[in-house]
Each structure stands twice: as C-alpha cells, then as structure tokens.
Structure 1
Amino acid sequence: MYFKKAQRTVLFLLVGLMPSVVCSQEKGLDERINEAFMPFAIWWENLVFSEVILLGSSIPIVLILLLFGALFFTVYFGFINVRFFPMAIRVVRGKYDELEKDGNNDHSGEVNHFQALTTAVSGTVGLGNIAMVAVAISIGGPGATFWMIIAGLLGMSSKFVECTLGVHYRDIDKEGNVFGGPMYYLSRGFKENGQKWLGKLLATIFALLCVGASFGGGNAFQTNQAAAQIISRFGIEGDGTGTFIGILFAILVGIVIIGGIKRIAKVTEKIVPFMAALYVGAALVIIFLNLDRVVEAMALIVTEAFSPKATITGGFIGVMIQGFRRAAFSNEAGAGSAAIAHSAVKTKYAASEGLVGLLEPFIDTVVICTITALVIIIFNMDGAFVYGDVIDQHALLRDGTRVGGVNLTAMAFENAIPGSSYVLVFAVVLFAFSTIISWSYYGLQSWKYLFGRGRYTELLYKLLFLVFTVMGAAITLDAVLKFSDAMILALVFPNIIGLLFLFPKAKEELNIYLKRIRKGYAA
C-alpha cells in the first residue's frame, strides 16, 4: 500500500514539474530545469529558517535548537568532546577490539569501526567543507570561521549521543542486514518511555526529511559544485553541459550503490583517506607558503567574530548565524544522519561507536573547514573580493564579476599556486562522489523505514536518487543551496527533540563501556 502511494506521489511531482521544464523552448535545458525547481527551493528555505527576535536580532529557530542541544550535551556529559577525544582515537585504531571477543557474541553488524567512520565522514566531509566555507566567509567575513569552529567543537557532543543511540536501538534482520538511525531510536526509545505515538511521529517526520536531504544536500548540491568546477576549470561550454556531467555522475554512483553498505564502506575506506590527504595537503602547502600572513588571518577570524567589518545584517549575531548554519550543513551534528552509517558497526558496546562518531565534527569542521577558511582569507588579504556584498550566494570580485561557492576556493588555490586549482578539481570530484554514495545509504534506510524493505521499493528510491544526481548538476548554486541547506537543517527538529528525551540511555551505555574498559584494560 505504501509503495503504491509513493509511486503516485512521485508521478504527481514529475507531472507537476513537466510543464515548467518543457516550456520556453528558447531557453537551454539547464535553465529550464532551474526555473522549474527554484520556486520550491525558495518556499522550503523560508519555511525551515523561520525566525524569532532574540537579542535584538532575527535568529532561525532551528539554529537555537541546534545550539541549545549541543551546549546541553557538552555540559551534561562533562565535556566529553575534550575528555574522551584520545579514547575515541584509540577505539578507531582497534585498541579495544578484544572487548568484542569475550562474553556473548551479540555484536552483529556489517562494518568495522574504521569503515563506519569513513562512511560517515565521507557523508560529512564533502563540498560543504570547500563550497560552504567560501559562502560563509563571503557573507559573514573571516569571523564566520570562528563560529564554525565553535559549532564543530560543540557538535562533537551531539554526535556522540546520536551514534550511541543509533547502535543501541538498531534493528538487525535474519540475514544480518542492519537498519538503524534516528528513525529507530526515536520510535523505539519513545516506545520504551510510554510515548509510542510521539516516537512514531518524530521518526516518520525524520525519515521523510532525510529522504529529501539525501536528494538535496547529500546529492544535488554535490553534483552541482563538482559540475561547476569541471565546467569552470576546463572551459566547457554548451547547452546541457551540466546535465551531461550529472548523467556521468549518476552512472558511476549507480554502479556503487547497487552493492549496499558493504560496497559503500569498501569504497569510502579507500577514497576518504586519499581525498582528505590530497585536499588538506594542497591547502597546507599554500598556508606554509604564506606563513607571514597566517597570524594576521587568525587574528581576523577572532576579532571579526565579534566586531565584523563585513556589511552583514545583524552584526556579530549575523556572523554567528552564518558560522553555525554552514557548520551544521558541513558536519551534520544534531541532524542525526551520520548515526545511520554508524549503526551498521560490528560492536556490542553502543558507546564505543558514539566515541568514534564524535571525531567527525572535529575532522570535518575544526580541521578541514578551518584550513579552507585560512586559504580563502589569505587570498583576500589584497582585497580580491568584498566581504558581505553577496547576491545569490555569489561573492563580488573587485573587477565587478561574481563568483560563488567552490569556484571562490578554486581562485584562492590558483592564486597561491598556479595550476593547483586542477588538483582541487580532482579533490572536488572525489568529495562529491564519496558524499553522494554515503547519502544514498542514509536516504535508502529512511525510505525503507517509510515504505518497507522490498526489492522494488529499494529500486524506486535508487532511481529517484539518480534523477536528483543529474538535476543537481543542471540547476544554479542559489537554487540548490536553498533547498539543500534547508533540507539538512530541517532534520534537526525531530532529531534534537528526540535526543533531549533519550540522552540518559546514551549515558547508561557510556558507563557500561567505561566499566568494561576499567575492568580489563588500561584506558
């Protein structure tokens, strides 16, 4: 029944979009797709980022909820993001793997700790680290970087709670396939507390939003920015160029996602370390070549976090909003999506994977986003573009032209090391590809929760996912960013509300794990 309803809904949407796409034959294919998509993107962004007046400024409700949750978990768990950071690294390295071999063998799963981390990291370490940082700095100036770092550090605590609950409440079928994530800890956790209806409602809302997020931020945004880089760096022109690049991406993605989480994990465990080393290595070379400017850049990050010179509405509150908003898109802490990948880990101690999960925001935001920010700020020391003067997410260059997202980062690379922008193109493609395949898994798990686990149900989702892969490469940055940004942050509403009710279970799991470590191992 649900499958038939899904089919009718999809058909209705496609029919509704068709007139807009096929009209105006004088316009190019990419432009027609963009015009059909933009109205919905604007409506959805306005809905998700509804604001309230606080401290004299308009602040999105979703960011208040995100920040409150992260602060609460950080304090409640005794700054677990700092105290347990070394232990988290030891868990990933396999120091406590022997704990899994004693007692009963109830630690079914599909991937190991490192594979779960790389799969989740590949979903978070993506073009948000390259394009979103550029957008944040373009709008909010260097100070936005400071708030991105703060958001990353606090988000580590939220990520711990999400991933711990994800493993604790996961479902494993007779074939050993794992089904986990917020859909399951919301429905099962609230059921334990005697609030079954509320848990089911929040789980359903999350699943619906996660499917949308997998189409948007986890897919369309990635192909959009990858296509933008390929077109810009190689000077490709012509009607439908973005669409054709999207089709190529869809073919490559389709080959991988057919194999499920095990194939995805095998691909990401190879791609993620390589792409991170490639991008971070190139960025560090630029930073070392400009060491005389690094101190000044870091000073700007701190001072303009509170006294911004960028012409941005809301003063430092406006800059803070930009930092938290872009960091949330980048590391997804509080959104709950990564818990879906972490739920597939082979372990019987849920908190062990929670500790692994808290490394993600650190890697993603504190390290990679900060490195990107330094490169862009150093590039702008001579006034290459105007902070705060932004239209449709595009920064204003001094020569009067506008450049947006990943292309601004590419200009910073090229300015520092001629030819390095081509290295960035390769890194961007890898970032986009790894993020897309990870998010395909997140969306599929949510889709199965809504419509069942049948083979045809799964096939329908994958086909729709690949359609958005193509569509993302065709539409503009402004359109895809409005939709993607709002879709991922919308996940915060059901997820954080759930975490604020269920966090005691994460504390219980942490105590169990620490007790076991103290019993037989020196931490």
Structure 2
Amino acid sequence: MSLESVTTSIDDAVSGFFEPVAENVGKWVFYSVPVDIGDGETDFPLIVGWLVIAGLVFTGWFGFIQVRKFKLAFDVVRGKYDEKGSTGEVSHFQALTAAVSGTVGLGNIAGVAVAVSIGGAGATFWMILCGLLGMATKFVEVTLGVKYREVHADGTVSGGPMHYLPKGLAERFGSGGAKFGKVLAIAASVFILFFGLFGGNLLQANQSYVQVSSTFGGEDGFLASSAGAVLFGLVIAALVGLVLLGGIRSIASVTSRLVPAMAGMYIVACLVVILTNITAVPDAVTKIVEGAFSPAGVAGGVIGALIQGFKRAAFSNEAGLGSAPIAHSAVKTNHPASEGLVALLEPFIDTVVICTMTALTIVIANPASWAEARAGEDIGGVTITSDAFATVLPWFPNLLTVAVLLFAFSTILTWGYYGLKAWSYLFGRSKASEIIFKAIWSLFVILGSLMSLSSLIDLADSALFLLSIFNIIGLYLLAPVVKRELNSFLEFVRRRKAGLPDTDEQLETAKIL
C-alpha cells in the first residue's frame, strides 16, 4: 500500500468521524428560538446572547471602564506602575503579548472571512460591538485570575477559572460556594481542553495548511495531497513540542517577539489595500452599517449578521472564556486589577482594530472567492482574505502565508499552555502528566490539516459557548471582589502620582525615619 493511499484513508477516517459529531453537537448547543425581524422570521441561538449580556452587565457595573481607564491601561503596559519584588514570572507587556498571541490569530484572518461570508458585510458592525463589550468582561476575569492565582514552590504560577472559581466562591460563600466553585472549575477545565484542541490547535493548523498549499502547492502538487498534509502537520507538531517544553517563559519569549512583528506587518498590508482603494471606503462603511440593520438578506438580515458577528468576535477575542487569565496570571504584580486593565486592551487590539481592518479589506477588495462563499458554494476562510490582498498586492499571499504560519504557531503555543493548566488541574501536576499532555497536544496538530473547516468551526464554537456558561456564572458572583481590587489599584495609582509611598505601612515607616 502506497503512502498516499494510507494518508488518504486517514484523511477520510478523520473527516468521517468529526463531521457528524460537529453537526449533532452544534444543533444541541446552538438551540434557537424564532425571532420576528419584520419581513419574516429567523432563528436566534439563545447561547449567543449569553456573552453579549455579560459584556453589557460588566460595562454598566464598572462604569464603562473600557473607555474611562483606556489610557491608564496603556500606562500599566509601559511599566509606569511596576513594583519591585512583585510576585510573578513575566512583565505586563509579556503577559499581554502571550495572551494576545492566543487571540490574535487565524480568527482574525480566516474567522472574519467566515463571518462576512455567512453574515454579510454587516457582521463587521456586530463584531466591533462585541469587541467593545468584551473589553469589560476581559477586565473582570483577568483581575480574578491574578487575585486567586497559585504560586508554586519553584516560582511558577498557575491561574485561570480552575483557580478563581473554587477559591473565590469559597471566600465569598463558604463551604457551599467552595463546592459549587469546584463543579464550575472542573467543567471550565474540561471545555478549555476541548476549545483548545478544536479552536486553538486544529483550526490553526488547518487554515495555515490551507494557505500554504493554496499558495505553493497547486491543485496537483504534493502539498495539496493527503501525504503533503500529514508532512506539514508533522513539521508544525515537532516545532510546537520543542517550544512547549520550555513553559510560559519560553512561550512569552517567543510570542513577545512574534506578535508585535506579525501584527504590525498584517496591519500595514490591510492599510495598503484600504488606502489604495480609499475612494471605496465610504461605500464599504455604508455596506457594513446597512448590512448590520438590514431586515432581510444574507443569513436572515440583521439577526444573521448579528449572530455571525458575535460568534466570530467571541472566537477571536475569547472574552468571557477564562482562557486569557491563565496567561495573565503569570504577571509580576501585587495589584490584580492592574493586569485586568492591561487585559481589556486585548479585545480592542484583536477585534476592534485587526478584525475590522480584515473585514474592510475584504469588503473593499470584493474578491471572487467572497462572492462564491456568499453564494453558498463554500464558507470561505483564509483564502478569501488572501485573495482580497492579492487584488492590490499580487505577491502578498506569499508574505501572508508567513504571517498565517506565525499567527497559527503562536496561537497553538499559547493554547498549549492554557490546555496544560486545565489538564494539570484535572489530572495532577506531575512531570509525567505534563509530558503526556504535551505529546497529545503536539500530535493533534497533525489532524488539523486533514479536517474540514466547517467541522472545526462548529466544534470550536460549541466548546467556546459551553465554556463561557460556566466561567461567566462565576464572574457574576465574584464581580464585587473585582470592584474592591479596582479601588485598591486606583488608590495605589493616586499615591504614585502624588509621590507618596505605595502603602500606609510604608508611609508610617517614612515618618519614623
């Protein structure tokens, strides 16, 4: 039996297993109710509103903190309020880039293309709104992640919903809260693993392979074959395994260099396409706004655009999932809310800036592949974005391939770290347990290039929204803790600006001396 026949059989087996699973799970998770939109009815998945409501609640609870404290967040990232001797492993900037590397990825490139293919240009408007609301949710969960993190004897740090849910609820509600928090923490850990595998691992490998094979493989080339897909997966899996062995310091070191460079390159390319077609920008903005509120049209008009916008934004910025607190918990700080403020920049960078620029690029360039996707021939993905760039920069798909590989690689690494923390919570923090997880995680990369995009999107979305249920319940119950931590940090900032000692104890010591 030839290598090609073996790999083709594996390809068929993988697709045959996951596609029906994705379809059945999606129907259950995204249970929908009919909504009257004026010219008819469309279905609205109840669970999509869960993240939106959370963003609205936290935005109101903390008085539009994403607007009021935006500048302060940048000051914290720049190190203006750093404290010597703070507990943690990485700086504010490194924690931000490590977390952003888990959000800024193919969700911004392929995910946006999927959104505007299914939901039309109007999905962009709802992505932006979801990103703005998600800034408040991200602030809450990351503050809790740092507040209740666990510092191990070797100096490493563990955080995330598996820590702040049981500890925080026990602190607030006693033994009953501890038991309820434990249940929520176990459920959150399980779905962090599932979303990590499908969204943070397989999807990234899948779309990076699609871009590489479409740019360099050709229809009949080796890369386009099942054997080529397996070889691609093996190479990426080996690289991922090597970096994961280094832990969060290794990941932060890699991502702090990769993320700014690749994000900068991608944004510049978007600007080139947009500025080259500057006269088309007003029309594109009009399409986005009109499409957002159209009573009829692609995928149910306003409701269809809203659903796709919120789903893809949630997938991209991960606000409310409890994933980012895992990376942010390693930060060097004694004030949890300081890192919460840093974290609220993530959805802004990821969704408001990068996703919007991608959508504008696609709407303005209007590549043929987007029209085909809107006609229902395919859901599109990274090739639509690549084709949009090619309308102005024919050579850019080659450079985009490099960017896609870097985006995918950094996302797989960061979600590997997230998954390891969830795995360790469920199965123990032994050396053997960690090695088993890293081996499984690396091997799963190979499957990504063999699966269909639609199956991966469905499975990742299902795990994402199930994870958000358990995490956000805890966020509501622990919001008063976040309020206290915010007030504590703002008092620290006030003292620092006034040139006073950071604490009352230091002030009394200064008086004695």
Q: Distance in 1 between matches of 2:459 and 2:441?
A: 15
Q: Distance in 2 between matches of 1:312 and 1:257?
A: 41
1:456 aligns with 2:432: yes
Change (3 A) 1:497 1:54: farther
1:49 aligns with 2:30: yes
Change (3 A) 1:168 1:156: same
Equivalent of 2:260 in 266, 273, 282: 273
Equivalent of 2:210 in 217, 223, 228: 228
1:256 aligns with 2:256: no
Output the amino acid matched with 1:197.
K
Q: Is the 8 A contact 2:367 2:384 kept in 1?
A: no
Q: Distance in 2 between matches of 1:441 and 1:152?
A: 24
Partner SS state of residue 89, structure 2: coil
Q: Distance in 2 between matches of 1:229 and 1:323?
A: 23
Pick which of 32-41 and 423-432 moved more. 32-41
Equivalent of 1:40 in 9, 16, 21: 21
Q: Is the 8 A contact 1:216 1:468 kept in 2?
A: no
Q: Distance in 2 between matches of 1:150 and 1:77?
A: 17
TM-score in terms of structure 2 length: 0.91
Q: Deviations over 1:317-360 (max 9, x none)?
A: 12101100110000001111111100110100000000000000
Q: Deviations over 1:96-134 (max 9, x none)?
A: 11xx23xxx5x3111110000000000000000000100
Equivalent of 2:65 in 74, 80, 102: 80
1:481 aligns with 2:457: yes
Q: 1:14 aligns to what?
A: none
Q: 1:177 aligns to what?
A: 156
Q: 2:417 aligns to what?
A: 441
Q: Distance in 1 between matches of 2:348 and 2:360?
A: 16
Equivalent of 1:210 in 175, 185, 192: 192
Q: Deviations over 1:409-467 (max 9, x none)?
A: 11111112111111111110000000000000000000001111001111111111112
Q: Distance in 1 between matches of 2:328 and 2:274?
A: 33
1:96 aligns with 2:62: no
1:118 aligns with 2:97: yes
- The alpha-carbon deviation at position 311 of structure 1 amounts to 2.8
Q: 1:292 aligns to what?
A: 279
1:346 aligns with 2:300: no
Q: Is the 8 A contact 2:157 2:330 kept in 1?
A: yes
The alignment yields a C-alpha RMSD, in angstroms, of 1.9
Output the amino acid matched with 1:358.
L
Q: Distance in 2 between matches of 1:83 and 1:26?
A: 55
Q: 1:197 aligns to what?
A: 179
Partner SS state of residue 59, structure 1: strand
Q: Is the 8 A contact 1:329 1:488 kept in 2?
A: yes
Q: Is the 8 A contact 1:139 1:389 kept in 2?
A: no
Change (3 A) 1:511 1:384: closer
- The alpha-carbon deviation at position 512 of structure 1 amounts to 0.1
Q: Deviations over 1:226-280 (max 9, x none)?
A: 0000010012332322121111100111110000001000000000001101111
Q: Percent identity?
A: 49
Partner SS state of residue 162, structure 1: helix
Alignment gaps of 5+ in structure 2: 500-513
Output the amino acid matched with 1:49.
F
Partner SS state of residue 43, structure 2: strand
Q: Deviations over 1:112-166 (max 9, x none)?
A: 1000000000000000000010000001111000000000000000000010000
1:506 aligns with 2:482: yes
Alignment gaps of 5+ in structure 1: 1-21, 396-403
Q: Distance in 2 between matches of 1:147 and 1:372?
A: 14
Pick which of 378-387 and 360-369 moved more. 378-387
TM-score in terms of structure 1 length: 0.89
Q: 2:137 aligns to what?
A: 158
- The alpha-carbon deviation at position 44 of structure 1 amounts to 2.4
**Alignment map for 1:16-31 (pairs within 5 Å):** 27-31=8-12
Q: Is the 8 A contact 2:420 2:438 kept in 1?
A: yes
